[in-house]
Amino acid sequence: MASAFDEESFAQLLDAVDRFVRHRLMPLEKQVEEAGEVPSDVIDEMKKMGLFGLGIPQEFGGYELTLFQEVQVQMAFSYTSPAFRLVFWPNVGIGSKGIVLAGTPAQKEKYLPGLASGELRASFCLTEPDAGSDAASLRTTAVRDGDDWVINGSKRFITNASRAHVFTVMARTDSSKRGAAGISAIIVERGTPGLSVGKPENKMGQKGSPICDVVFEDVRVPVSNIIGGLDAEGNGFRMAMQVLDAGRISVAASGLGMARRLIDEAARYALQRKQFGQPIAKFQLIQAMLADSETEYLAGHALVMQAAAALEAGQEATAQAASAKYFCSESVSRIADRALQIFGGAGYIAEYPVERLYRDARALRIYEGTSQVLQLVIARAMLKRYE
Ligand SMILES: Cc1cc2nc3c(=O)[nH]c(=O)nc-3n(C[C@H](O)[C@H](O)[C@H](O)COP(=O)(O)OP(=O)(O)OC[C@H]3O[C@@H](n4cnc5c(N)ncnc54)[C@H](O)[C@@H]3O)c2cc1C
């Protein structure tokens, strides 16, 4: 697969990521969980490693990894708390991909170097209080006034909003059109008058990765801030869905990284914990749980690699991406549940990482398409083949 980043350099990067995750980040997991934030010196190290620019073209300072390579980094990083990768992943994924895929030369020049270095941080604003799964019913409007768009509306649960400098906002630029038509993707910079970001929500898991409301009250931006320029007016929803294909494969890969960690924790614990005079790993009912988890991990791995290869090859991969995300996000919850069971009472207390991983894993079945929405996407695509 063509990559601007050769295989040998990629192997070195993956090795560096692996060492960073295991030696630098894993010892900080409890601290990040309790403090609710990633220390700034860790973020500086992430910048130095070039992590913010993994998917951004080399001409703008990124590594220009293929999606196939990106998912491998995602898996390696997801071995530790999601808070760490969610510092830079919005720059790699949904926060920058729209500009990489469809931005004008001027937009690329203006934003991609800062996004690649981590000097700028990104957020992707699609969900609204009354438009979640039915995202195409969004109500945020952008009304043209001379050379400006005037944006009004509010967005909900936006990852990284409290630390973002660049917001990709999905807004209705043509109110005469319903649904997906008439929606455009507009870049709004932090500090623009009328833009405000709410307090980070108190979440069940993934602590240290803020999600917030973002409110737009008569926010004015130049008409040229539509991603792809004025000619791309009304293409925003299509672009968002394109970005989400890669995003869903990436979420699936994050589920695999978490699954690997959970299986490793559970297997090691089963080998050292003794009951009835022997390690619990000797009991076939424990082995069955480990075997089910390992099988689901391997099946998910195959799905993710297949979907990434299809998208990379330019094939229509919406249903494959949805299947990968659906399977991996559901299976990591089952894997977390089995891991907790293998730990017994110890699995239910915060001293061991499975309690935290169990909570962290739960979100994967909700964001970037709930499991039910993904089932609909998969069924719609497969039924077409039978019609
Ligand atoms: C940690 C986290 C981070 C997030 N980050 C972002 C972000 O950065 N940017 C962003 O834009 N959004 C983000 N979101 C929002 C997320 O994408 C939405 O929560 C998700 O799309 C679901 O929307 P909703 O919460 O409104 O649920 P709803 O759409 O209200 O769904 C409620 C339930 O109804 C089900 N349902 C809905 N429609 C159907 C149907 N047709 N058939 C069957 N069942 C259905 C759903 O599956 C779900 O079980 C984030 C959410 C979380 C939890």
Write the burial class of residue 296 (CB in 10 Å: 0-12 exposed, 13-18 middle, 19+ buried).
buried
Fold (CATH) for 238-386:
Butyryl-CoA Dehydrogenase, subunit A; domain 3 (1.20.140)
**What does the pLDDT read at residue 95?**
84
Q: What is the mean pLDDT of residues 245-266?
A: 97
Q: Give the distance (Å) from ligand 1 centre to CA of residue 370.
A: 6
Fold (CATH) for 122-235:
Butyryl-CoA Dehydrogenase, subunit A; domain 2 (2.40.110)
pLDDT at 2 over 60: no
Q: Who's near 276: CB < 8 A, 6+ residues apart?
A: none
Q: Which residues are known catalytic residues?
A: 368
**What does the pLDDT read at residue 276?**
98
Residue pLDDT, tens place only, 348-372: 999 999 999 999 999 999 999 999 9
CATH number of 7-117: 1.10.540.10
Atom of ligand 1 nearest to the CA of 203: 1
**What does the pLDDT read at residue 7?**
87
Residue to mutate (ligand 1; options 367, 377, 378; most atoms within 8 A of CB): 367
Q: Give the distance (Å) from ligand 1 centre to CA of residue 336.
A: 21
pLDDT at 282 over 90: yes
**What does the pLDDT read at residue 209?**
96
Q: What pTM value is reported for the model?
A: 0.96
| Helices 82-92, 67-77: crossing angle, 10 deg rounding | 160
Ligand 1 binding residues, C-beta < 6 A:
124-127, 132-133, 157-159, 206, 211, 363, 366-367, 370, 372-373
Residue to mutate (ligand 1; options 157, 166, 207; most atoms within 8 A of CB): 157
Residue pLDDT, tens place only, 172-226: 999 898 899 999 999 999 999 999 999 999 999 999 999 999 999 999 999 999 9
Residue pLDDT, tens place only, 314-351: 999 999 999 999 999 999 999 999 999 999 999 999 99
Q: Who's near 190: CB < 8 A, 6+ residues apart?
A: 164, 165, 166, 167
Alpha carbons 167 and 121: distance in angstroms, whole number? 9
Task: Using a pLDDT cut of 70, give the percent of the chain over it.
Answer: 99
Atom of ligand 1 nearest to the CA of 90: 8
Higher confidence at residue 24 or residue 94? 24
Strand partners, 125: 169
Q: Give the distance (Å) from ligand 1 centre to CA of residue 39.
A: 29
pLDDT at 1 over 50: no
Q: What is the mean pLDDT of residues 76-86?
A: 97
Residue 361 vs residues 37, 93, 155: alpha-carbon distances, Å? 18, 19, 24
pLDDT at 3 over 80: no
Q: What is the 3-state secondary structure (H, E, C) of the chain?
A: CCCCCCHHHHHHHHHHHHHHHHHHHHHHHHHHHHHCCCCHHHHHHHHHCCHHHCCCCHHHCCCCCCHHHHHHHHHHHCCCCHHHHHHHHHHHCCCCHHHHHHCCHHHHHHHHHHHHHCCCCEEEECCECCECCCHHHCCCEEEEECCEEEEEEEEEEEECHHHCCEEEEEEECCCCCCCCCCEEEEEEECCCCCEEECCCCCCCCCCCCCEEEEEEEEEEEEHHHECCCHHHCCEHHHHHHHHHHHHHHHHHHHHHHHHHHHHHHHHHHHHHCEECCEEHHHCHHHHHHHHHHHHHHHHHHHHHHHHHHHHHCCCCCHHHHHHHHHHHHHHHHHHHHHHHHHHHHHHHCCCCHHHHHHHHHHHHHCCCCCHHHHHHHHHHHHHHHHC
Question: Where in the sequence of the chain do the CATH 2.40.110.10 domains occur?
Answer: 122-235
pLDDT at 268 over 60: yes
**What does the pLDDT read at residue 375?**
98
Residue to mutate (ligand 1; options 96, 130, 133; most atoms within 8 A of CB): 133
Q: What is the mean pLDDT of residues 75-79?
A: 97
pLDDT at 4 over 70: no
pLDDT at 107 over 60: yes
Q: Give the distance (Å) from ligand 1 centre to CA of residue 134.
A: 8
Question: Where in the sequence of the chain do the CATH 1.10.540.10 domains occur?
Answer: 7-117
**What does the pLDDT read at residue 365?**
98
**What is the average pLDDT value for the chain, to the nearest integer?**
95
pLDDT at 99 over 60: yes
